[in-house]
């Protein structure tokens, strides 16, 4: 029998159980669970007034704000599929995702008026379902005549619980979250209500959630990490979450002290900026119990810098298709440096060969996963889904190995590996070493054709601010750290690297650039 229990119940239940407790502190303004749920309900009634029904898609192009959470939980209560859009995208990219999911409605911040106006006549969105959210900047224009003002539209709506036009079940679609699009068009990962509940429980176990926890995070809500690893589990657990419109390293450190943060989430790049700001050494961080981070190559020096301050960053592994798969236990952060942890309670992760058979410790193979947190499918891509999920087993597309204690180590993306002189080369291994060079801010290596070796490495290196580094310095630094056949034969110094929203390098763009160099 299908279970009729949607993610919107999180708000309904918390309003009943903890109504007067602070749910979110947004830009230093406290919002209780009762007030948040009332905002959610107003939004839900507005959606219904606009004719939105179960299964319809609503896109949201917003900076972090309370209205983002209102729309998310409102959609959940009605069975409307929520589609968060990356606000770093440009017009054609937004147009592709909005039309790909066949959205009927879009909510957008005033900051993105120009982007939406540029493409609105080419979108699937109904003419009366462009919803404009005015922020606090008085310099921004008023709501255009072709859109509805969000605040005016919801202000008179009821605060009573809405009734969906059809029952919402746990296996129903909750959200479509588009992958970062490292290669080709981004794919929409479809997440269900049930998967999200399991994810909330898994993250709660990871952080050792306690009723009085204050979670400090400034990750964007449009990303699966911000919405499904931070916001939803925090509110599910009845905790308090601090939230800012965007990330600022000084503000982040200040928030830990001001709100006595106990659980802190930040990606590696964010931690690097926080440490460089020097602010962390000027505030009281003694209340912090749990630090969750990573999400990209993390040099040992960063772990050590944090450990010296009593912050033991637990690195994890996840994807849009199955976030929060693994995490390093706090007590093993230093002992298992370089690992991305053990499988979570509701996820089984293992290393398999091409047929999915489990490989022994130490052998490199495909990182596979199964469990109730895996996505349902890719939106409108049955063939891609069938290649990615076989017999309920998710092929992550990453290569790695496990040690004797079951700790997972990532080697590289399967598609990024290249063969040089008959030897497999995993660029991430070399990139990790170069990340420790004091003059290098970031780097990325791709395999390129080579007459002698078949393929060889080409490194794109972004020097640290104010630093100059030579090709010879790079090669000298690699001596004795990785085998010579892994050394890149070509090095190009760049002013920037093409990045995704999750701070991963778009290697497909680098390969295109290389092709242009050699035309």
Residues 160 and 271 in one domain: no
User: 């509805």: which residue's tokens?
Assistant: 148
Residues 384 and 440 in one domain: no
Residue 212 lies in a domain: no
pLDDT in tens, the chain (519 residues): 789 999 999 999 999 999 999 999 999 999 999 999 999 999 999 999 999 999 999 999 999 999 999 999 999 999 999 999 988 888 888 999 999 999 999 999 999 999 999 999 999 999 999 999 998 888 889 999 999 999 999 999 999 999 999 999 999 999 999 986 545 578 999 999 999 999 999 999 999 999 999 999 999 999 899 999 999 999 999 999 999 999 999 999 999 999 999 999 998 878 988 998 999 999 999 999 999 987 666 778 889 999 999 999 999 988 899 999 999 999 999 999 889 999 999 999 999 988 888 999 999 999 999 999 999 999 999 999 999 999 999 999 888 999 999 999 988 777 787 878 667 787 888 888 898 899 999 999 998 887 777 788 999 999 999 999 999 999 999 988 887 888 999 999 999 998 876 677 888 888 887 766 565
- Phi, psi (degrees; rounded to nearest 5) at 348: -110, 120
Q: Do residues 385 and 364 lie in contact, with contact meaning Cβ atoms separated by under 8 Å? A: no
The pTM for the full model equals 0.86
Residues 453 and 499 in one domain: yes
Residues 93 and 179 in one domain: yes
Q: Residue 42 is part of a domain; what is its CATH number?
A: 3.40.50.12780
- Residue 78 parent element (H or E): helix 66-78
Cα 369 to Cα 70, 281, 321: the distances in Å are 32, 39, 10
Q: Which structural domain, as residue segments, surrounds residue 255?
A: 247-413
Residue 209 structure tokens: 């959630």
> What is d(CA 471, CA 477) in angstroms, rounded to the nearest whole number?
10
Query: Across the strands, what pairs with 349?
Result: 369
pLDDT of residue 509: 85
Residues 423 and 330 in one domain: no
Total of domains in the chain: 3
Residue 426 structure tokens: 């995993």
> For 39-90, how does the pLDDT look when each residue is reduced to its tens digit (9 = 90+)?
999 999 999 999 999 999 999 999 999 999 999 999 999 999 999 998 888 8
Tally of CB atoms within 10 A around 127: 9
Residues 269 and 359 in one domain: yes
Coil, strand or helix: which one is 456? Answer: strand
> What is d(CA 376, CA 321) in angstroms, rounded to the nearest whole number?
9
pLDDT of residue 429: 80
Residues in the chain: 519
Residues 401 and 323 in one domain: yes
pLDDT of residue 453: 78
Alpha helices in 391-493 (DSSP H): 427-434, 471-478
Angle between the N-to-C axes of helices 471-478 and 427-434, in degrees from 0 to 180, rounded to the nearest 10: 110
Residue 54 structure tokens: 């179960």
User: 């309904």: which residue's tokens?
Assistant: 12
Residue 92 lies in a domain: yes
Residue 235 lies in a domain: no
pLDDT of residue 243: 97
For 389-424, letters b (16+ CB in 10 Å) and e give: beeebbbbebbbbbeeeebbbbbbbeebbbebeeee
Cα 83 to Cα 107, 191, 239, 445: the distances in Å are 10, 10, 25, 33
Question: CA nearest 239: which of 267, 263, 219?
Answer: 263
Residues 13 and 150 in one domain: yes
pLDDT of residue 415: 76
86: burial class by Cβ within 10 Å (0-12, 13-18, 19+)?
Answer: buried
> What is d(CA 334, CA 362) in angstroms, rounded to the nearest whole number?
20
Q: Do residues 449 and 427 lie in contact, with contact meaning Cβ atoms separated by under 8 Å? A: no
Residue 219 lies in a domain: no
pLDDT of residue 433: 87
> What is d(CA 280, CA 278) in angstroms, rounded to the nearest whole number?
6
Query: Across the strands, what pairs with 268?
Result: none
Residue 252 structure tokens: 């982040």
Residue 425 lies in a domain: yes
Cα 516 to Cα 182, 456, 507: the distances in Å are 19, 17, 14
Residues 287 and 350 in one domain: yes
End-to-end CA distance of the chain: 61
Residues 180 and 37 in one domain: yes
Residue 216 lies in a domain: no
- Phi, psi (degrees; rounded to nearest 5) at 375: -55, 160
Question: Using alpha carbons only, how large is the chain's radius of gyration in Å?
Answer: 23
> What is d(CA 238, CA 22) in angstroms, rounded to the nearest whole number?
9
DSSP 8-state secondary structure symbol assigned to residue 358: B
Residues 274 and 375 in one domain: yes
């Amino acid at each position: 029998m299908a279970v009729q229990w949607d993610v919107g119940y999180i708000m309904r239940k918390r309003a009943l159980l903890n109504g007067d407790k602070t749910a979110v502190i947004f830009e230093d303004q406290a919002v209780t669970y009762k007030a948040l749920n009332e905002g959610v309900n107003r939004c839900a009634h507005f959606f219904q007034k606009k004719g939105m029904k179960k299964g319809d898609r609503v896109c949201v192009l917003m900076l972090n704000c309370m209205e983002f959470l209102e729309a998310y939980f409102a959609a959940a209560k009605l069975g409307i599929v929520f589609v968060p859009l990356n606000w770093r995208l440009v017009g054609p990219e937004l147009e592709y995702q909005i039309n790909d999911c066949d959205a009927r409605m879009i909510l957008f911040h005033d900051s993105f008026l120009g982007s939406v106006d540029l493409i609105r006549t080419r979108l699937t969105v109904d003419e009366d379902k462009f919803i404009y959210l005015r922020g606090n900047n008085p310099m921004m224009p008023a709501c255009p005549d072709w859109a509805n003002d969000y605040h005016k539209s919801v202000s008179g709506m009821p605060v009573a619980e809405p009734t969906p036009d059809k029952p919402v079940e746990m296996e129903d679609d909750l959200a479509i979250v588009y992958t970062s699009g490292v290669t080709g068009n981004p794919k929409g990962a479809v997440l269900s209500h049930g998967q999200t509940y399991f994810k909330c429980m898994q993250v709660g176990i990871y952080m050792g959630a306690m009723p009085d926890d204050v979670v400090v995070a400034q990750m964007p809500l449009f990303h699966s990490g911000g919405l499904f690893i931070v916001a939803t589990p925090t509110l599910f657990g009845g905790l308090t979450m601090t939230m800012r419109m965007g990330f600022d390293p000084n503000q982040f450190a200040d928030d830990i002290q001001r709100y006595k943060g106990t659980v802190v989430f930040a990606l590696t790049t964010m931690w690097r900026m926080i440490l460089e700001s020097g602010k962390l050494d000027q505030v009281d961080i003694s209340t912090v119990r749990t630090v969750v981070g990573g999400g990209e190559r993390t040099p040992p020096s960063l772990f050590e810098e944090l450990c010296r301050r009593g912050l033991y960053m637990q690195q994890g592994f996840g994807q849009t298709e199955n976030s929060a798969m693994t995490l390093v236990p706090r007590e093993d952060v230093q002992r298992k440096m370089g690992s991305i942890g053990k499988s979570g309670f509701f996820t089984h992760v293992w290393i398999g060969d091409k047929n999915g058979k489990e490989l022994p410790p130490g052998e490199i193979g495909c990182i596979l996963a199964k469990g109730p947190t895996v996505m349902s499918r890719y939106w409108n891509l049955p063939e891609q889904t069938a290649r990615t999920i076989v017999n309920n087993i998710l092929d992550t597309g990453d290569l790695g190995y496990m040690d004797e204690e079951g700790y997972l180590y990532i080697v590289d993306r399967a598609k990024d590996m290249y063969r040089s002189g008959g030897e497999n080369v995993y660029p991430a291994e070399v990139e990790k070493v170069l990340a420790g060079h004091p003059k290098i801010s970031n780097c990325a290596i791709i395999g390129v054709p080579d007459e002698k070796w078949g393929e060889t490495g080409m490194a794109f290196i972004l020097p640290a601010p104010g630093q100059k580094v030579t090709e010879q310095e790079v090669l000298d630094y690699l001596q004795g750290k990785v085998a010579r056949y892994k050394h890149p034969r070509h090095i190009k110094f760049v002013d920037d690297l093409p990045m995704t929203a999750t701070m991963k390098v778009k290697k497909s763009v680098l390969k295109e650039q290389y092709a242009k160099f050699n035309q």
